[in-house]
Amino acid sequence: MTTAVRKKDKPKRIREAKSARINRSIGGTVVIFLFLALASIFMLLPIVYTVVTSLKPMNEIFLYPPRFWVQNPTLSNFSTMAELAGEMWVPFERYLFNSVIVAVLGTIIYIFIASMAAYPLAKRHTKGMSIYYSFVIIAIMFRPEVTQIPLYIIMAKLGLINSYAALICPVLAGTLGVFLMRQFMETVPDEIIESARIDGAGEFRIFFRMIMPMVKPAWLTLVIFTFQSLWSTVDTTYIYNESMKTLTTVLQQISSAGIARAGAGAAVALVLMIPPVVVFIISQSSVMETMAHSGMKG
């Protein structure tokens, strides 16, 4: 099946190049570009300001009149942060290790289980499935602030306190990924699944060899959401063992402890931003490379 998909890529590439010119005026494209450029400035300005602030020495942060740009850039905010992190009870590497394990392992597991659950929800048209699915959707809307105590009791009963599972399980139980995958699988035509079945393919083969490659943009996007939410988890409820804490938890404590000011806070924010941005760039550039499954339809 995969080879069949690949073979179809070539003619499609040519078609795409041609179809890009259909119904497009150059003037309109220029106007759109200028509009997006202006909007980009608005989106980026606070981020740039964070970067600039993290490079400001203390006296410039409280300069009057305030200046946007930094005069004498310094890395002192980053070294303050590193020093504070170095003084913690547990070596810094341990926090980083915890964060990476939780984020990577959790993301991989979630992509699998969410996609698997989404397949029958998308392609098995029974009443039971649609009732189950409506629960999946509305569960997204319940605010987590009031489920913390019941969740704590469940975690304690299952003996998960102070374990990686305590950090990963709530994310694995989230319904956003199932919702996203199900919505994309919905667009896969029933006919091609049907013809694969007639050819004798089992459900697992259909799922891994046909469905998953076709909804690649969806699960690559889900990688971003899942990694981001696992990485940014600040957990002081289920984890009190210092050596099990994540980097995000510890760095947030540093920046909110009052020792650090605007500069170190910005430095912490920037350091924490790096891994999600890297994951975003890798996965998003693969999204851009995937080809639409046009040849597959009908």
Partner 1 sequence: MKKAAAAAPNRAASPLMKQKQKEAWRSRIPTMVFLAPFTILFVIFTVLPIVAAIGLSFTYFNMLETPSFVGLDNYIRMFFDDDVFLIALKNTLIFALVTGPIGYILSFLFAWLINEFGRKLRALLTLIFYMPTLAGNVYFVWTYIFSGDSYGLLNSTLIKLGIISDPIMWTTDTKYMMGVVIVVVLWMSMGAGFLAFVAGLQSMDRSLYEAAAIDGIRNRFAELWYVTLPQMAPQLLFGAVMTISTSFAVGVQSQSLTGFPSTDYATHTLVLHIMDFGSIRFEMGYASAVAVFLFAMMVIVYQVVNKALSKWST
Stretch 84-123 residues interacting with partner 1 (CB under 8 A): 112-114, 116-117, 119-121
- Judged by CB under 8 A, does residue 195 bind partner 1? no
The residue within the footprint of partner 1, chosen from 59, 87, 93, 141 (CB under 8 A), is 141
- Judged by CB under 8 A, does residue 235 bind partner 1? no
Alpha carbons 168 and 109: distance in angstroms, whole number: 9
The residue within the footprint of partner 1, chosen from 23, 59, 72, 258 (CB under 8 A), is 23
Match 């988890």 to its residue by tokens: 233
The residue within the footprint of partner 1, chosen from 77, 99, 175, 249 (CB under 8 A), is 175
Instruction: Give the nearer residue to partner 1 in terms of CB position, either 32 or 91.
Output: 32
Match 């913390």 to its residue by tokens: 148
| Rounded least distance, CB 276 to partner 1, Å | 5
Q: Which helix (H) or strand (E) holds 119?
A: helix 92-123
Instruction: Name the one range near partner 1 by CB under 8 A: 3-11, 70-78, 93-101, 261-269.
Output: 261-269
Residue type at position 171: V
Burial 196-223 (b: 16+ CB within 10 A, else e): beeeebeeeebbebbbbbbbbbbbbbbb
The residue within the footprint of partner 1, chosen from 58, 105, 139, 161 (CB under 8 A), is 139
Question: In Å, what is the CA distance from 256 to each residue of 252, 253, 266?
Answer: 6, 5, 11
Alpha carbons 88 and 217: distance in angstroms, whole number: 41
Alpha carbons 231 and 216: distance in angstroms, whole number: 22
Instruction: Give the nearer residue to partner 1 in terms of CB position, either 84 or 119.
Output: 119
Instruction: Give the nearer residue to partner 1 in terms of CB position, either 194 or 243.
Output: 194
Q: Which structure tokens are listed for 179?
A: 């919702």
The residue within the footprint of partner 1, chosen from 82, 164, 203, 271 (CB under 8 A), is 203
Instruction: Name the one range near partner 1 by CB under 8 A: 72-80, 81-89, 94-102, 141-149.
Output: 141-149
Alpha carbons 211 and 186: distance in angstroms, whole number: 10
- Yes or no: say if 156 and 114 are a contact pair by the CB < 8 Å rule: no
- Judged by CB under 8 A, does residue 282 bind partner 1? no
Tell me which residues in 54-83 interact with partner 1 (CB under 8 A): 62, 64-66, 68
- Yes or no: say if 171 and 233 are a contact pair by the CB < 8 Å rule: yes
Instruction: Name the one range near partner 1 by CB under 8 A: 69-77, 86-94, 98-106, 187-195.
Output: 187-195
